[in-house]
Amino acid sequence: MRNADKHSLRPQTRQMIRDVFARLDYDALGDIYCEEGGEAFWKAHKNKCQTMGIRIGEALKQRLPQKGKSLYVGAGVAELPLLVLETLEMNRTVQAHNLREREVDVLNRACDGLPFTVHATAAQTARGTFDHLWIASVLNDPECFPETSALAYGRADPVRFDPVAFQQERTQIQELLDACLPKLSRPGILSTTVEEVTWMEDWLTRNRILCHVEEQLYPTAIVGDPLCFIRLEPTKKRKR
């Protein structure tokens, strides 16, 4: 029980997460996330985002050092508990990116006064290095990568599947990884979903970076993809 208590979020952090979620504009989020039925969607997912986010936050708290830096690619509502935890409780710096400007506006209004801002810019523009990179449910996003998403989730129709479009998407994904993964220091933590692990392992292997994919999985609230952590091994010093 001592270990569990050690990694639990502080009551003040939990309260701030509740406060942030209470300030979110769910009418606006309903229009952003859903073509219809937005009110019912957030009624079903609001609490799940908090409880599952806190659970993932407790796992991150075990793995990340104090006063480090995190880069979030595609930070949305589900990532808010993690951003609050890292900045308020762990004295870490977070750089969060989300290309949906309307959602960014909603998030920043709910987080007004907190020591972070979500940027409506591409994560590729982030400068510096980070000891934690979050890129979850991004590479299989059906809006950005429809053909890749169909393959990842086993929905690809052999009659209608477009291999040319998929090749273009694969190039875009590889360019995204080429821009973001070099920003992750070694040792470092890469947070991603099991559906995206193949992309990560391929890039890390091609760049001769040793890594370990942890077996423990964590459910996520909105997309539902299980989350896992990949540990990047320290850079080996060359022998003279």
Separation in Å, CA 46 to CA 20, 58, 80, 138: 11, 19, 12, 20
Enter the DSSP assignment of 153. T
- Exposure class string for 9-37: b at 16+ Cβ within 10 A, else e: beeebbebbeebbeebebeebbebbeeee
Q: 166-173: long-range contacts at Cβ-Cβ below 8 A with a sequence spacing of 24 or more?
A: 169/145, 172/145, 173/139, 173/145, 173/148, 173/199
- pTM of the predicted model, to two decimals? 0.93
Q: What is the pLDDT of residue 78?
A: 97
Separation in Å, CA 17 to CA 21, 211, 237: 6, 32, 42
Residue with tokens 């694969």: 170
Enter the DSSP assignment of 88. I
Q: What is the pLDDT of residue 7?
A: 77
Q: Phi/psi class of residue 166: alpha, beta or left (left: φ > 0; alpha: ψ in -120 to 50)?
A: alpha
Helix (H, G, I), strand (E, B) or coil at 99: coil
Q: What is the pLDDT of residue 239?
A: 56
Q: Compute the distance between CA of residue 29 and CA of residue 83 in angstroms, rounded to an integer.
A: 19
Q: What is the pLDDT of residue 235?
A: 78
Strands of the 118-119 sheet, one edge to the other? 118-119, 93-97, 69-73, 130-135, 184-193, 227-232, 211-213
Do 97 and 121 contact (CB within 8 A), yes or no? yes
Q: What is the pLDDT of residue 116?
A: 98
Domains and CATH numbers, the chain: 2-232 (3.40.50.150)
Do 113 and 23 contact (CB within 8 A), yes or no? no
Q: Compute the distance between CA of residue 210 and CA of residue 193 in angstroms, rounded to an integer.
A: 19
Q: Compute the distance between CA of residue 98 and CA of residue 134 in angstroms, rounded to an integer.
A: 12
At what angle are helices 11-23 and 38-63 packed, to 10 degrees?
Answer: 150
Per-residue pLDDT of the chain (240 residues; tens, 9 = 90+): 344 467 799 999 999 999 999 999 999 999 999 999 999 999 999 999 999 999 999 999 999 999 999 999 999 999 999 999 999 999 999 999 999 999 999 999 999 999 999 999 999 999 999 999 999 999 999 999 999 999 999 999 999 999 999 999 999 999 999 999 999 999 999 999 999 999 999 999 999 999 999 999 999 999 889 999 999 999 776 555
Q: What is the pLDDT of residue 240?
A: 54
Q: Say how many C-beta atoms besides its own lie within 10 A of residue 237's C-beta.
A: 6
Q: Compute the distance between CA of residue 38 and CA of residue 40 in angstroms, rounded to an integer.
A: 6
